[in-house]
Structure 1
């Protein structure tokens, strides 16, 4: 038990300086399963030099002692003294969070127009989590070196030799600190995939990986060089799978920023084809950073492909009666490699697995749409083949829905009157939003896609059902309505419930972004955890994330129309304001409003931020196998009736860590 009189005073507040936050919570800044990701940060910096047009070679070497070095022949990190900070720039880059050459992009003051790096956090994280890190720079005819340990300088910057003036570049050698990682070995497949992708996305650059081989005196050297770029890479990715049409590739970048909402140089390069048989893991990148979870750039390509194929089908009158082609019918058999170039990318999390800029959807859809449509109409036989694949897929989907209809029979419970149902009965695409309050329910009804999205407004707070017996649950009207709407009866963890009546593939909790909303979220999650565990296990339960703030930015001359930017929380708001500051937008040229609740949002805002699959944020509720016990203990502590004492002790111990929004 915690000391009841534990003091909470001014001295209780700890301020983490320098790189201490990274060491304290490494998982916030990088993946800690292996040191691969901290080394990826160094590789990303080297390839950003190539993206900027200065480096043609990147060499990665894994050494016998477990260290990894990355060498490029770019400009070399500046070694002079920083005008404001008074320390060498190379030292700043490796020891300060949020120090880098990738800001000030809009006003031309940045060293990089396009880059994967955006926070100035990456390589200083590598330094913080390394036992030793050596930086050698060739620049201005001198070879300089600086050495760090655990993020601190152990050998100050010094000149160690001379080189020809034309010879420039940087070499960084990292010894990761194994105490921060679950395993000490690098993931070779991940490194290979990353380096191969860099070579693909930068045609003409040569990338090498050198690593020791067990039992061999000579190391293994792999070289990647793709003069043909994306086309040859996608062909290699497809491998054994059978193509329906030849690979189509194209790159299209904005050439005149005054004629569009986007900046000069933004755009995308992509290669795509349709597969007759087999499957292929498609890949996407933003400024050379791999985005395994996709994001808005993939959604933009999907939209462009669907619109182009749909227009082709309409133009050539190919659609049979009664068939409606949807986006997934067209995109289901597509294999693609997409490389988007975005001036100011925003990712979900520091590991940059998913792109979240809403504007990028419009950007990629705009630059990809016309070339695809042109290609289809120049190659009518390929276009007809693709149309045939999409129509076949649509017919198969419609047949499977009809089967589901028959199985339901006539013994269906009467659906709750306040449920606004969707038209489709295909649970693979149907979604139910459990919305807090009637006013928010009204907005959600107008914002939804009535084909696939259903709305069930909930009045007041749902019962805490943690200790309610299964038989007593339907005494609560809200829980009764939820169960009938989703078509599944309450069940226990060990039961084998009948899920054949399930009416929605996704069930999303949509509550306000405030304390009350969080409470309703917890009550609903308790209900699903305790009485519908199979829905969580099968991945059907989601939590929607509405934004807390809206920033209205006035038009900046003719070339920049007015914008609405949304922030999930205070951190994202700070990031948006920082970006506007770097763009040179004055404080008087934008206003910040805070949503008190979902009911305040008009349907367009709610659709754009929270409900449209292409631009919303939806978190899937999962319980990792390793956290089953821990999850149960937390639910017992938070929701158990006899747990008031342990809740109080927990609040006293952990209360100072909570970020409360009152």
Structure 2
């Protein structure tokens, strides 16, 4: 025992921990130098799913030059070898000796964390007043996570070059040629190191989307994107002379708008709470079908929104509510909420802040609290004035919000009445099972025909069947208060015994009537579409089911193989194959068994409705022979939200088209 003061004792450490203590000395303390922190923990500084974000850091340098008024052209190229390059005609990164580091300044920018021209924002001669924030890693991350990085700078009549490998200088700065004094700019060529990323591929679609947005936010600046192919370069070029207004018009070209576009901008000067130049530009309109939009902070896209979007939400809600009340448009017993006004708003919002704070290093969500007040200070009066100058249009906007509020109130009351009755009235189409609870299963089946076969082949004790009529509702952009207005979704909710809820909600699942909810659709494109719509419904409006592992996808077979008898002891057999690959494997196995080539018969199911009850039980319903895939929410929740937004949002039609084009190109190459 080791003696302590006041007579107390404590046991001696075990031999295991004594050895640990002996090993803990001065050599145990490691100091990370230069770019080692980034290379040791890259996930703390950038997104590591793929290298796209480290290329975006280089693009942002060029964008900052354009935003400061020194660059009129930005060119980005994706090369066939997996590298990417960024060129601008700005002033060029300084190349003189840094007064503190005693090495060329361009070397400092790429090798020292928290270095650059964006930290001297309070000084009168600051090069960059508005940038993407002060997390402060920038192109040093690009260099740290690249196996090779080359930089060329045109400045003061000379072209300078410097080369890096794994973050270290391998080719010191030197002058490689001369140029005209007015010919200035920076060229960065980076080869991302695949060992730091889950996938080595830079996302073409993400870069295209980003560069098009940058061009919109920099009116008059020409942005070029080159994608190298075996036959040359596929080039796209964007210039928005009218900036955000032109971009918004293209974004909503195929949508029915309730009222015309309201666009404007305001940057504050002499404001007691904000720095000179802080403010925002906006373009908004209300859609007859759905809402959604894009937001930016200092030209950085905030895909996850943030406090600036919250400020916009507050402004439009308060302005529309005030207008409706002032003009006597409100209905009795109908109370407007922010969702009623916001759910159909289409918007593009771009704010400028001196020191924005973000929720993560990739800057996808703004967390600065003052952004709410900034949006309110710059936009509130302008929107109030516009609504009162355009009374017919403002009336349509208010009436749309009131209509949504009334529908929400009606649906809420309907649900409350069902709850208060104490007796759950099941949908007429539901063929229920004898038991409920963890062992019970609800099959959501595509079509009445397949539903009939499923009813005949099911285990009546544990398996319930709810047929669905065709392709359902895309519920991604439907407000939670409106979701039960759809009869199919209401049938699902009532059958399950739980109400729609959000991802962040704490939901009581004690009333859940089934332990498994199984999606059963045809093994074709339409069936996959129905699966996507149902998965969207559960992820968006019943996420607790997915989170807790209650949702499954059934995989019915596409082929049936009838094998004739093979002599005594080998009766005829019925085999099933999920797809063409499995069919090929089954046929290979039959050949290995000595079954005569061509003696078996292969038939393809056109749909679940072609299966009789016994076949459906044997292949898809029987727990011993069926194939189920469990749907879960893993760690990549943000990526899942982004994927659903891309695939299901009406505002992302152009991006979906681009993804399909890329997918078709991959298939052609294969």
Normalising TM by the smaller chain, what interval?
Answer: 0.5 to 0.7
Do structure 1's residue 9 and structure 2's residue 20 form an aligned pair?
no
Do structure 1's residue 268 and structure 2's residue 285 form an aligned pair?
no
Alignment match, 2:366: 355
Is the contact made by 2:80 and 2:229 (CA closer than 8 Å) also made in structure 1?
no
Alpha-carbon distance in structure 2 between the residues aligned to 1:534 and 1:198: 39
Is the contact made by 1:41 and 1:122 (CA closer than 8 Å) also made in structure 2?
yes
Do structure 1's residue 391 and structure 2's residue 407 form an aligned pair?
no
Alpha-carbon distance in structure 2 between the residues aligned to 1:409 and 1:315: 37
Alpha-carbon distance in structure 1 between the residues aligned to 2:517 and 2:220: 57
Report deviation, 1:493.
Answer: 11
Structure 1 stretches of at least 4 aligned residues deviating more than 6 Å after TM superposition: 490-493
Alpha-carbon distance in structure 2 between the residues aligned to 1:321 and 1:174: 63
Among candidates 198, 202, 211, match of residue 186 of structure 1 = 202
Alignment match, 2:237: 223
Alignment match, 2:348: 337
Do structure 1's residue 244 and structure 2's residue 244 form an aligned pair?
no
The two structures have a TM-score, normalised by structure 2, of 0.62
Report deviation, 1:195.
Answer: 0.2
Change (3 A) 1:491 1:12: farther
**Most deviating of 159-168 and 12-21:** 12-21
Alpha-carbon distance in structure 1 between the residues aligned to 2:349 and 2:341: 17
Alignment match, 1:318: 329
Alignment match, 2:473: none
Alignment match, 1:47: 63
Is the contact made by 1:241 and 1:280 (CA closer than 8 Å) also made in structure 2?
no
Report deviation, 1:288.
Answer: 0.4
Alignment match, 1:201: 217
What are the equivalent positions in structure 2 for 1:249-648 lying under 5 Å apart? 249-257=263-271, 260-277=272-289, 279=290, 281-409=292-420, 411=422, 428=480, 488-489=509-510, 494=515, 534=545, 536-537=547-548, 624-625=633-634
Unaligned runs of 5+ in 1: 413-426, 430-484, 498-531, 540-621, 629-662
Is the contact made by 1:491 and 1:533 (CA closer than 8 Å) also made in structure 2?
no
Report deviation, 1:536.
Answer: 4.2
Alpha-carbon distance in structure 1 between the residues aligned to 2:146 and 2:191: 5
Report deviation, 1:136.
Answer: 0.5
1:417-459 CA-to-partner distances (Å, cap 9, x unmatched) read xxxxxxxxxx958xxxxxxxxxxxxxxxxxxxxxxxxxxxxxx
Alignment match, 1:75: 91
Change (3 A) 1:161 1:535: closer
Alpha-carbon distance in structure 2 between the residues aligned to 1:305 and 1:249: 13
SS of the residue corresponding to residue 243 of structure 1 reads coil
Is the contact made by 1:115 and 1:287 (CA closer than 8 Å) also made in structure 2?
yes
Change (3 A) 1:165 1:295: same
The two structures have a TM-score, normalised by structure 1, of 0.63
Unaligned runs of 5+ in 2: 1-14, 424-478, 482-505, 519-542, 551-630, 638-670
Change (3 A) 1:205 1:172: same
Do structure 1's residue 56 and structure 2's residue 72 form an aligned pair?
yes
Report deviation, 1:108.
Answer: 2.9
SS of the residue corresponding to residue 351 of structure 2 reads strand
Report deviation, 1:336.
Answer: 0.4
Alpha-carbon distance in structure 1 between the residues aligned to 2:235 and 2:517: 53
Alpha-carbon distance in structure 1 between the residues aligned to 2:107 and 2:221: 28
Report deviation, 1:491.
Answer: 8.2
**Most deviating of 8-17 and 77-86:** 8-17
Alpha-carbon distance in structure 2 between the residues aligned to 1:371 and 1:491: 49
Alignment match, 1:152: 168
Change (3 A) 1:241 1:402: same
Report deviation, 1:371.
Answer: 1.2
Do structure 1's residue 131 and structure 2's residue 147 form an aligned pair?
yes
SS of the residue corresponding to residue 363 of structure 2 reads coil
